[in-house]
Structure 1
């Protein structure tokens, strides 16, 4: 029996588009806060949304492409920053955490979508938890490490410096989960695994 397999061209296009979405998120004014001035941006919202929409591997690829392009010299980071010099800034840990966070969020999103069909309230709550898992498993721990290393703060003070970003990340993950849920309701086959049989898909997806 035929199986639905993802198009490589489509995958590459989605990866490129969402790398652009993350880049576009930096166009919103960055707000420096805390003792080391790491800015509040919309990057974490874009990373979570990318992972929730594209899934683990495409989400990881899109986010990694964004980071690589910025490190290569294109001004796609917050405030128009670019180049390897950003790795010496206090924000370096947050930046390097993005692909890992996207990978985890994407995996959890795939599990949520395959096990909660038709239960949108539960889906939204679990997508929110998936986004928070990525934030608190990777973004904040690596961000704290980057602050401690590059700003010369002890870990306890770096942790306190990171606390200011928690409320905003929670709000951004709430927004990302709402948008991702709407996208998956409109395109229910977006994260279907290649092993799923074609006749198991909704008619709207097969057509």
Structure 2
């Protein structure tokens, strides 16, 4: 009984288990996360009014891998860098205007998505089971689309928001969710050498 309890505790949390690491390791992880988020912002497919980027994939992965606190903090610091004028947002964008324009809803959704994925990963949805990992990634992606789409609907109307800010991203969201789930499964498998199907 005592041995099982130890195993459950050891396997709790996000796949990187950063909550057990030193402050310097956590700081390095945050810096790496901000850099990855910035890189994902430059890999875009131009669309109007919102470009397709790899941001959602990286945001959800950071949340799942870092845990909800550190994941959300990493995303918030990245957004803060953009607000302060550093060219870290989509297509090198920056400035406070990004947080009031059409993309604001997506930006504000990112920390929520990271925190959600971190919580799910800590509760058995972090990659040990393929279906759960995909479901978690899909939920994070859907959260970004819902909040982003809601803000867009407020600014340009529901129909335009759906046609321009949600519908074009559904297939890409599914693909990115699957890719993210496979990453989580691969990382989980390296630790446990066993992956369940559901």
> RMSD across aligned C-alpha pairs, in angstroms?
2.1
List alignment gaps of at least 5 residues for structure 2.
1-8, 11-19, 193-198
> Is 2:190 the counterpart of 1:176?
no
**Equivalent of residue 18 in structure 1, options 20, 28, 33:** 33
Counterpart of 1:140 in structure 2 is 145
Measure how far apart 1:16 and its partner are: 1.7
Please say if residues 53 and 184 of structure 1, whose CA atoms lie closer than 8 Å, have aligned partners that are also in contact: no
Per-residue displacement from partner, 1:163-187 (whole Å, max 9, x unpaired)?
1111101101111111122223335
Measure how far apart 1:80 and its partner are: 0.7
Counterpart of 1:124 in structure 2 is 130
**Equivalent of residue 32 in structure 1, options 30, 35, 46:** 46
If the length of structure 2 is used for normalisation, what is the TM-score?
0.79
Please say if residues 52 and 177 of structure 1, whose CA atoms lie closer than 8 Å, have aligned partners that are also in contact: no
> Is 2:73 the counterpart of 1:58?
no
Please say if residues 105 and 134 of structure 1, whose CA atoms lie closer than 8 Å, have aligned partners that are also in contact: yes
Please say if residues 26 and 43 of structure 1, whose CA atoms lie closer than 8 Å, have aligned partners that are also in contact: yes
CA 1:88–1:144 in structure 2 vs 1: closer, same or farther (change >3 Å)? same
Q: How does 1:31-180 map to 2 (within 5 A)?
A: 31-33=45-47, 36-112=48-124, 120=128, 123-136=129-142, 138-150=143-155, 153-161=156-164, 162-180=166-184
Measure how far apart 1:113 and its partner are: 5.4
Q: Distance in 2 between matches of 1:61 and 1:52?
A: 13
Measure how far apart 1:110 and its partner are: 1.4
Please say if residues 90 and 149 of structure 1, whose CA atoms lie closer than 8 Å, have aligned partners that are also in contact: no
If the length of structure 1 is used for normalisation, what is the TM-score?
0.76
Q: Distance in 1 between matches of 2:35 and 2:191?
A: 21
Q: Distance in 1 between matches of 2:57 and 2:169?
A: 12
List alignment gaps of at least 5 residues for structure 1.
189-207
